Amino acid sequence: MGRRSVTSEDRARAQRLGNALEQLRGNRYSTERLARLADVSVDTVRKLEQGRSAHPGLFIVSAIVSKLGGSLDEIVAKAADSS
Biggest alpha carbon distance in the chain? 40
The reply to whether the predicted model has a pTM over 0.75 is yes
- 49 found inside a domain: yes
- 2 found inside a domain: no
pLDDT attached to residue 81: 87
Determine contact, residues 48/64, Cβ cutoff 8 Å.
Answer: yes
- 69 found inside a domain: yes
- 36 found inside a domain: yes
Question: Among 51, 53, 31, 27, which Cα is nearest to 42's?
Answer: 31
pLDDT in tens, 15-71: 999 999 999 999 999 999 999 999 999 999 999 999 999 999 999 999 999 999 999
pLDDT in tens, 2-14: 677 899 999 999 9
Q: What gap in Å lies between CA 72 and CA 61, rounded to an integer?
A: 8
Number of domains in the chain: 1
pLDDT attached to residue 1: 57
Q: Dihedral of CA 33/54/24/69: which sign?
A: negative
DSSP H or E segment with residue 76: helix 72-80
pLDDT attached to residue 2: 66
